[in-house]
Amino acid sequence: MDIPCSLQERKILEKIALAAQELKVPAYLIGGFVRDKLLGRRTKDMDIVCVGDGIALAHKLAASLGDHVPVSFFKTYGTAQVKWNDLEMEFVGARKESYRQESRNPEVTEGSLQDDQNRRDFTINALAISLRDEDYGSLLDPFNGLADLDAKIIRTPLEPAQTFSDDPLRMMRAIRFASQLQFTIVPEAFQAIQENAERIRIITQERITDEFNKIMLSPKPSVGLDLLYKSGLLKIIFPQMIDLVGVEMYEGKGHKDNFYHTLQVVDNIAQHTKDLWLRWAALLHDIGKPATKKFEPGHGWTFHGHDAVGGKMVTRIFSRFKLPMGDKMKLVKKLVELHLRPISLTKENITDSAIRRLLFDAGDDIDGLMLLCEADITSKNKVKVKRYLENFELVRARMKEVEETDRIRNWQPPITGEIIMETFALTPGRVVGDLKTAIREAILDGEIPNTYEAAYAYMLEKAKSYNLTPVK
Ligand code: ATP
Ligand code: MG
């Protein structure tokens, strides 16, 4: 076997081969695992196809591994899964698929290895390695997938229009692999994607989002995002992004193309973090621009309030994409809302209180916010970029100083609502909120020190304007 496997993987493949021999079914390692190993990528998911009953083979293997190795299987699909240490093995009987226009679901019948390879989406995903006794370890590559791996090409085994029309998710997968592996989709396949883009509508949002996120996690997400745009898929799955495309001219003045700017920002942040949600924040940071765009005579193009409008759009977009609506959404929303703030701190004569305020508003997400802001600098002028980045370094240094003295990050003001209510025998209401805010603002503005005593005294003083006197 000429793929670089670990000792554990080699052992398990031998056990699968033995189990298959005992059942007298020819078995093959196929798909992503073979592709990724040949490319030297990390992978733990093995796909095994056998000409016969895949579920029976999974059970046979599990029994040979020990007493309590669980097998999960799906009778309707004829698939089974065995987990062993950190390996996941997926078993399936070789099948032949025929599609009808009206439905996503093909007619599936038992087939040969060749039939099974025909139904695979790309030549590089159809490579198989024999686990049979007579030719153990040899590569079975009817579509020259190995050559395509070398040439870094994505090509369908059969006619591309048919392949994409049969299962439109493959269009997303083609673009995802192009972005993930930095491969090129052959022109005839890309053209077939453009022609079949509309068919993506029959695919569930969850599966689209899965592929989209893999594009976002790829080394240079702009590759996939631009292909989504050029294929016509983006218009269907993410119309808000299309609104960012283009440059409008008025009185000889244009603004930057916010779509390509955004792609650059996503690539920039991708160089510094693998965090999907920070990458999403980069993708959405300017999403409010089209809705707030104005031409102001004598001034030029403005996008006032695009941060707040963008923040609101985050919720809707997450919901459309069926992304998690909890903390992750809140993080992205917050970063979009705050993305202009650090830039305003690079001006001269910035007070400690402006720094404190940002630390307070951003809390634990300040590091992510700074990454986003640095990624947002996309000027072609290298000197300018360097100067901006240096300015951000100064802001970081100031933040560190202020944080060391004031501990504002994750800070709660020393006087709580409960203390205010107890002191003045108040029930919850507007006055309590007003007093609480006043104390917090006074501390953030540096008007009073961040101590219980100072805040308590300030509260008593402030309370006078509400005609309140302490009850104890
Ligand atoms: P990854 O694991 O990185 O998502 P993969 O290629 O391994 O990539 P899987 O979903 O694990 O993708 O599928 C395993 C194999 O099954 C693929 O390599 C391919 O041969 C086949 N396959 C998966 N999805 C499709 C599809 N929509 N159409 C045709 N073949 C597919
Ligand atoms: Mg896989």
**Does the Cβ of 47 fall within 6 Å of ligand 1?**
yes
Distance CA 15, CA 12 (A): 5
Distance CA 287, CA 293 (A): 11
* Full-model pTM: 0.90
Query: In the predicted model, what is the mean pLDDT of residues 383-388?
Result: 89
More confident residue, 251 or 269: 269
**Does the Cβ of 367 fall within 6 Å of ligand 1?**
no
Residue 103: per-residue pLDDT = 66
Q: pLDDT category, 453, cuts 50, 70, 90?
A: very high
Cβ proximity of 262 and 203 under 8 Å: no
Q: How far is the CA of 328 from the centre of ligand 2 (A)?
A: 26
Q: What percent of the chain has pLDDT over 90?
A: 73
- For 143-153, b/e burial (b = at least 16 CB within 10 A) is bbbbebbeeeb
pLDDT digits (tens, 9 = 90+) for 346-384: 877 788 888 988 998 999 999 999 999 999 998 888 898
Asked which of 260-269, 329-338, 393-402, 428-437 is least confident by mean pLDDT, the reply is 393-402
Q: pLDDT category, 141, cuts 50, 70, 90?
A: very high
**Average pLDDT score, the chain:** 93
How does strand 45-50 pair with strand 139-140?
unpaired
Q: How far is the CA of 267 from the centre of ligand 1 (A)?
A: 26
Q: Which residues surround ligand 2, an ion (CB under 5 A)?
A: 32, 45
Residue 218: per-residue pLDDT = 98
Checking if the pLDDT of 3 tops 90, the result is no
Cβ proximity of 326 and 369 under 8 Å: no
User: Which numbered ligand comes closest to the C-alpha of 30?
Assistant: 1
pLDDT digits (tens, 9 = 90+) for 390-447: 989 989 998 998 888 877 777 888 999 999 999 999 999 999 999 999 999 998 888 8
CA distances from 332 to 122, 224, 399 (A): 34, 21, 22
Checking if the pLDDT of 24 tops 80, the result is yes
Q: In ligand 1, which atom is closest to the CA atom of 173?
A: 27
**Does the Cβ of 29 fall within 6 Å of ligand 1?**
no
Q: pLDDT category, 71, cuts 50, 70, 90?
A: very high
Q: How far is the CA of 304 from the centre of ligand 2 (A)?
A: 45
More confident residue, 109 or 55: 55
Checking if the pLDDT of 226 tops 70, the result is yes
Q: In ligand 1, which atom is closest to the CA atom of 180?
A: 3
Cβ proximity of 261 and 286 under 8 Å: yes
Among 92, 173, 208, 211, the mutation site with the greatest number of ligand 1 atoms within 8 A of its Cβ is 173
To the nearest 10°, report the CA torsion of 405, 410, 415, 420. Answer: 160
Among 28, 121, 193, the mutation site with the greatest number of ligand 1 atoms within 8 A of its Cβ is 121
CA neighbor of 233 nearest in space, from 186, 282, 176, 171 = 171
Q: In ligand 1, which atom is closest to the CA atom of 31?
A: 18
| Domains of the chain (ranges, CATH numbers) | 7-151 (3.30.460.10), 154-237 (1.10.110.30), 269-409 (no CATH), 417-465 (no CATH)
Of these ranges, 101-110, 245-254, 381-390, 460-469, the one predicted with the greatest mean pLDDT is 460-469
Q: How far is the CA of 32 from the centre of ligand 1 (A)?
A: 6
Cβ proximity of 293 and 257 under 8 Å: no
Residue 425: per-residue pLDDT = 94
Q: In ligand 1, which atom is closest to the CA atom of 170?
A: 27
Query: In the predicted model, what is the mean pLDDT of residues 187-204?
Result: 97
Checking if the pLDDT of 2 tops 80, the result is no
Residue 286, judged by CB atoms within 10 A of its CB (0-12, 13-18, 19+), counts as buried
**Does the Cβ of 125 fall within 6 Å of ligand 1?**
yes
Q: How far is the CA of 47 from the centre of ligand 2 (A)?
A: 7
Asked which of 36-40, 251-255, 296-300 is least confident by mean pLDDT, the reply is 251-255
Sole residue written with tokens 């192009």: 178
Checking if the pLDDT of 37 tops 80, the result is yes
Q: How far is the CA of 259 from the centre of ligand 2 (A)?
A: 31
Sole residue written with tokens 């005593």: 453
Q: In ligand 1, which atom is closest to the CA atom of 169?
A: 27
pLDDT digits (tens, 9 = 90+) for 227-240: 999 999 999 999 99
Asked which of 172-186, 405-419, 442-456 is least confident by mean pLDDT, the reply is 405-419
Q: In ligand 1, which atom is closest to the CA atom of 35?
A: 18
| Protein residue with least CA distance to atom 25, ligand 1 | 121
pLDDT digits (tens, 9 = 90+) for 94-119: 999 887 766 667 788 888 999 999 99
